Chain A
Amino acid sequence: MRGLTRLFAQRSAVVACFAAVMALGVMVSGPARAQGLDTARQVVNTVAEVGISEVVGADLPQTEKIARFRDLFITYFDVPSIGRFVLGRNWRTASPQEQERFLELFQEVNVFTWARRFGDYDGQDLVIGQASRDGDSGAFVDSQVEQAGGQQPIHVRWRLRERGDTYKVVDLIIEGVSMAITYRQEYNSVIQQAGGDISALNDRLAGQLERLKAEQGL
């Protein structure tokens, strides 16, 4: 919850009110199992609403949008867990410095990859559907991104895990393709080709980050 409060403290009054309602809702419902799915759905709802109104749809310079998106991303996504999942068995063979460098680069590559798409946003709606249970302490939330021009909507499934008294996003499954699994298989292949050397992956990620920044004139 502290992360939530910190994020919203910097935001407009409207969002602050929304956060208060959110916080209340979470406090009242508590960690009770029966309320879990509602909480998970609410997290996705918040990410979508804040993401659209405060980041991609807002009239702001790109650098400010990126800063806000990063806040949103690290607050509602469990980036360290995603990173560890993505590295798989390579995590254990990596030194603490390499682990730390990887998590930092992985987070920033994600931030700047999404940032590149901010300009593509054209008022599409994210319709949040049903939430369902995923084992003992997880949830799936289904959603659809409506597309322009009569194209079929894109199905996005959010995977969340229980973290303290809230849920955090650990994966996005887009039309059946899991981002976490795809990253994991790609990165694992890069590491294998480098003879098991994690620093080779980190160097490639650093290069990619440079490229992404340059493309956006940053």
Chain B
Amino acid sequence: MLPTAASARTVLIAFGALALSACATAPQQAATPATPAWEAENDPLEPLNRGIHTFNQVVDKAVLRPVAIGYRDYVPGNLRMIVRSILRNLKSPIILANDLLQGNLERAGNTAMRMAINTTIGMGGIADVAQDAGFPYHDEDFGQTMAVAGLDGGPYIVLPLLGPSNVRDTVGFAVDTFFDPLRMFTAAHDPSWADTVNYNRTGLTVVDRRESLIDPLDEVERTSLDTYAGYRTMYKQLRAAAIANQDRGGISPAAGTPAVEGSAFDFPDAE
């Protein structure tokens, strides 16, 4: 997802964080023995994370959000749809690989069909014709694949500029970035257009994503008493939903096991 120069840095961050967290996990676990798993925030780096969170908020307020607002206000909706569709099509090989690694043949077939239809009839993803043909988009990444394989998220990490993550998902992001076909191609052949394409893609990915989050993030910023703790728990919950493939429109009755027992809301001693 990131251009070549930045991906090396991402990998460094990931392994730096791994190394840091390795020293810091043990006391955290011992300190709170009675906390149920859903409630325990594995966040030994909290002071550092809070600092990065504040930095990210300043950058967001000064640059990212204004750019996203401008993008929404001045770029026509149709064009924004085209941008999103092209970005998704470029990402589809990685999504397909992760569908396959997770052994989910149904979703892999869906992604393969999307790739085939949108790259050809959709002219490189300019139009998401696959959506109308009954192959809706879904996201997938290597962090989720590792989770499906049984890996825990590990300590929470706030990445500079990129925001909430954890050790597993940071590594996953680095792996996805490294194996991205377009990135590998440009790295191997170094065509004259490599930098233009890679930087534009990264820029548009960031702007497209931030634009889609304008309303929800505004809502959090306005209502939360502690945005750091808010984003931390929301990240955990959203990732759990994504790992269970319940992240979009999933309305099946078997929608995973709830994080909290329903009886946690019963207080027989009340009144």
Query: What residues make up the interface of A, taking CB atoms closer than 8 Å to B?
Result: 78, 80-82, 84-85, 88, 113, 129-132, 134-135, 137-138, 140, 142, 144, 149, 152-153, 155, 157, 159, 161, 170-171, 175-178, 180-182, 184-190, 193, 201, 204-205, 208
Contact = CB atoms under 8 A, between A and B. Distances in A.
B123 interface: no
B192 interface: no
Q: Is the interface of B mostly helix, strand, loop or mixed?
A: loop
Contact of B237 (A113, A178, A188, A190): A178
B265 A82 contact: yes
For A80, A137, A157, A181, the residue with the greatest tally of chain B CB atoms inside 10 Å of its CB is A181
Given A129-B251, A185-B229, 16 more contacts: A84-B267, A88-B39, A135-B263, A142-B255, A159-B258, A161-B262, A161-B265, A177-B241, A180-B260, A182-B234, A184-B39, A186-B225, A186-B230, A186-B233, A187-B225, A208-B223
B264 A85 contact: yes
Interface in B11-63: 38-39, 41
Contact of A176 (B228, B238, B262): B238
Given A182-B234, A208-B225, A132 B262 contact: no
For B228, B232, B260, the residue with the greatest tally of chain A CB atoms inside 10 Å of its CB is B260
Contacts of B267: 80-81, 84
Contacts of A130: 251, 253
Contact of B238 (A152, A153, A175): A175
B35 to A, nearest CB: 9
Contacts of A189: 226, 228-229
B248 interface: yes
B249 A113 contact: no
Interface residues on B, range: 35 or more
Given A142-B253, A152-B249, A135 B261 contact: yes
Contacts of A152: 248-249
Contacts of A178: 237, 259-260
Given A176-B246, A190-B225, A185 B251 contact: no
A181 B265 contact: no
Given A137-B262, A161-B262, A185-B41, A175 B253 contact: no
B200 interface: no
A81 B270 contact: yes
B251 A142 contact: yes
A216 to B, nearest CB: 13
A181 B265 CA distance: 11
A135 B263 CA distance: 8
Contacts of B232: 185
